[in-house]
Chain A
Amino acid sequence: MTVSARRRRTGIAAWGLALPFTALFAVFLLVPVTSSLYMAFTDMRGADLRTPWAVNFVGFDNFVTALADPKFQQAAGNTLYFVGVAMPLTLAIALLLAVLLNSGLVWFRSVFRVGFYAPVVTSIVAVAVVWRFLLQPDFGLVNSALGVIGIDGPRWLTDEVWAMPSLIVMATWRNVGYSMVILLAGLQGIPRDMYEASAIDGAGAVRQFWSVTVPLLRPTLLFCAVITGIGYLQFFEEPFVMTQGGPLGATNSVAYEIFNRFGFGDYGLSAAMSYLLFLAVVILSYLQFRLLRTEK
């Protein structure tokens, strides 16, 4: 067989293997991504569902409408609040747990790892049922426990000030295990002689953490920050199942507002909002790369 015939045969076989995925990928992912961009520049509404081509181009109107909409602005502010607090919190706790678990002094490492990771695998809907109970103002566990030490706990989920922090704690609880597992694996890749060398140089535990662990863990931290950031920017499920975006929009998020606009039939507007969210994801990831990439 000639070389070129062989190459052609391999090429055909490779496309045969790639075909099922590629076909579905094109239909259910590439088409929606591009038609979302198309919709963002049209006045498409729910009534146009069956005739998606019979709509008018409106230029950047949807984007202007979105940015000028007070509900969207509030949702954007809430999303930044959520990401700004929950992301550093999640990463800090994950890193702390990973460092502690990496110590040779831990008794049952795999028990701890399983316990901290368990919330990650749970369904948000099921977890919401439990958390609404825990945060229930009158007979919930949290306020009962606070009552024991004489604190009159707030009405967590219906209080404009406390609703968002409640969701932040819940999201952190549910996501910390993921980053922890990745950071732990990253820590185990740091060679022991790095620590020995720094110990000889007289570095204490804290110094070692900042000058050995953190620099060498940078790529892993970056990965966790990007994944967590992308996920948190799309903050939707927690408010949907816990507060329906309330009270008074205090926990409404951009993703939730997109969903609501879709529900109202404003397809074009909701597509425009989704591209604004996409833009935010790209910007955040870029900033993180700039901030955390390994300096060479």
Chain B
Amino acid sequence: MTSTSSRPAPGAAARDVVAGRSPARGTRAPGATARRTGPRAIVLNVALLIGLAASIAPLVWMLLSSVKPEGEIRQFPPTLIPDQVTWSNYTELFASLSFPRYFLNSVVVAVAVTLGSVLFSAMVGYALAKLDFPGRRTLFALVMGTLMVPGMVTFVPLFVLVANLGLVNTYAALVLPFLAAPFGVFLMRQFMLDVPDELLDAARVDGAGEFRTFFRIVLPQTRPALATLGILTFLGSWNNFLWPLVAVQSADRYTLPVALALYSTGQNTVRYGLLVAGATVIVLPILVVFLILQRHIVQGISTTGLK
């Protein structure tokens, strides 16, 4: 972090948070003279640790319970650490005919949504940020206007539309509506504003057209932004629940959250072990991705709030 006394650009601050650099040197808050091992520090850190425990306890309990046998999950008093570790919940889940299918559906949909919407958002974001064209202001105003529209407003007519296009029960129904992501456009436009004009002018002087400039110069320049938006989009799609629940009605198109929700609220006797293992299969890949890429995710979130 800069040690200058001038106010750092918000973006720079966000990047510092992300990089895990201590911001304390720049913005040391009250009590700066106290040492990191002093009594104040100990009280503060213990309080934060208790909060942390509360925050991750449900997830830890889920991971641990997914390897408990059925009886131990229902037993009273409950155990936290499994007495007996078993993988049978997982083997049974993946041995069933439909579960691997749900998993595959989730992956296919999330990947398609992510690739498509990030590319389209970057394209239009670049045009909105750097190119002058008729209708630019109107398009941007429409995009910003729809950011506040609740999903429920479009939900019913979207279903009517998809039904009339004959897309119910198709992957297209799960993917197409999410390729137009106003939030992604907003985010990409903000990032594209930072691409230096000199770079674009240089490419144009060399005779590159706008498309070529975009794919050869702009996209590589904005790789971190693309990664950030890509992760956020993937998360959203992977966890998406309401729309897939309505748009697909046959089991071979279910995504993981839909399948789990229908199973857990269904009338049939529910096996808790399978339920917790299923929940873990949904959450664990995301948690792992998050832990590896948390820098990008946090940066993306911070940027949206500060720009």
Which A residues are closer than 8 A to B by beta carbons? Answer: 7, 10-11, 13-18, 20-22, 24-25, 27-33, 35-36, 39, 49-50, 52, 97, 99-107, 109-119, 121-134, 138-141, 144, 173, 176-178, 181-182, 184-193, 195, 199, 204-205, 208-209, 213, 220, 223-224, 227, 230, 233-234, 236-237, 240-241, 244, 255, 258-259, 262, 267, 270-271, 273-275, 277-278, 281-282, 285
Given contacts A13-B210, A14-B131, A28-B176, contact A21 B160 (CB under 8 A): no
Given contacts A17-B126, A230-B148, contact A204 B120 (CB under 8 A): no
Q: Mark B141-185, 1 if CB is under 8 A from A, else 0.
A: 011001011111111111111011000000000001101101001
Q: Is B105 an interface residue (CB 8 A)?
A: no
Q: Is B96 an interface residue (CB 8 A)?
A: no
Given contacts A17-B210, A121-B286, A278-B153, contact A129 B260 (CB under 8 A): yes
Select A188's contact among B23, B119, B304, beta carbons within 8 Å. Answer: B23
Taking a contact as CB atoms under 8 Å apart, the answer to whether B6 and A191 are in contact is: yes
Q: How far is the CB of A206 from chain B (nearest CB, A)?
A: 9
Taking a contact as CB atoms under 8 Å apart, the answer to whether A220 and B306 are in contact is: yes
Chain B residues within 8 Å of A29, by CB: 146, 154, 177, 180, 182
Chain A residues within 8 Å of B127, by CB: 14-15, 17-18
Taking a contact as CB atoms under 8 Å apart, the answer to whether A31 and B210 are in contact is: no
Q: Is B93 an interface residue (CB 8 A)?
A: no
Q: Is B8 an interface residue (CB 8 A)?
A: yes
Q: How far is the CB of A19 from chain B (nearest CB, A)?
A: 8
Q: Is B216 an interface residue (CB 8 A)?
A: no
Q: Is B220 an interface residue (CB 8 A)?
A: no
Select A223's contact among B24, B44, B214, B305, beta carbons within 8 Å. Answer: B305
In the complex, residue of chain A having the shortest beta-carbon distance to the beta carbon of B245 = A240
Q: How far is the CB of A181 from chain B (nearest CB, A)?
A: 5
Q: Is B268 an interface residue (CB 8 A)?
A: no
Select A39's contact among B157, B211, B239, beta carbons within 8 Å. Answer: B157
Q: How far is the CB of A76 from chain B (nearest CB, A)?
A: 14
Select B156's contact among A13, A204, A270, beta carbons within 8 Å. Answer: A270
Taking a contact as CB atoms under 8 Å apart, the answer to whether A32 and B158 are in contact is: yes
Taking a contact as CB atoms under 8 Å apart, the answer to whether A13 and B305 are in contact is: no
Given contacts A104-B29, A139-B78, contact A33 B153 (CB under 8 A): yes
Q: Is B56 an interface residue (CB 8 A)?
A: yes
Taking a contact as CB atoms under 8 Å apart, the answer to whether B124 and A141 are in contact is: no
Taking a contact as CB atoms under 8 Å apart, the answer to whether B306 and A185 are in contact is: yes
In the complex, residue of chain A having the shortest beta-carbon distance to the beta carbon of B241 = A125
Where chain A touches its partner, the secondary structure class is helix
**What are 20 sample pairs from A and B whose C-beta atoms fall under 8 A apart?**
A7-B132, A10-B210, A14-B133, A17-B126, A18-B133, A20-B119, A22-B124, A30-B142, A97-B51, A103-B31, A107-B36, A123-B283, A125-B241, A125-B264, A125-B282, A128-B261, A129-B260, A181-B301, A192-B26, A267-B156
Q: Is B250 an interface residue (CB 8 A)?
A: no
Given contacts A33-B146, A267-B160, contact A129 B278 (CB under 8 A): yes
Chain A residues within 8 Å of B90, by CB: none
Q: How far is the CB of A266 from chain B (nearest CB, A)?
A: 10
Select A25's contact among B48, B59, B182, B305, beta carbons within 8 Å. Answer: B182
Taking a contact as CB atoms under 8 Å apart, the answer to whether A103 and B44 are in contact is: yes
Chain A residues within 8 Å of B30, by CB: 103, 195, 199, 204-205, 208-209
List B176-198 residues whose CB lies under 8 Å from chain A.
Answer: 176-177, 179-180, 182, 185
Other contacts beyond A123-B256, A139-B76: 4, CB < 8 A: A15-B135, A104-B22, A104-B36, A121-B239
Chain A residues within 8 Å of B156, by CB: 36, 39, 258, 262, 267, 270-271, 274
Chain A residues within 8 Å of B8, by CB: 188-189, 191
In the complex, residue of chain A having the shortest beta-carbon distance to the beta carbon of B158 = A32
Taking a contact as CB atoms under 8 Å apart, the answer to whether A278 and B45 are in contact is: no
Given contacts A39-B157, A113-B298, A139-B76, contact A10 B148 (CB under 8 A): no
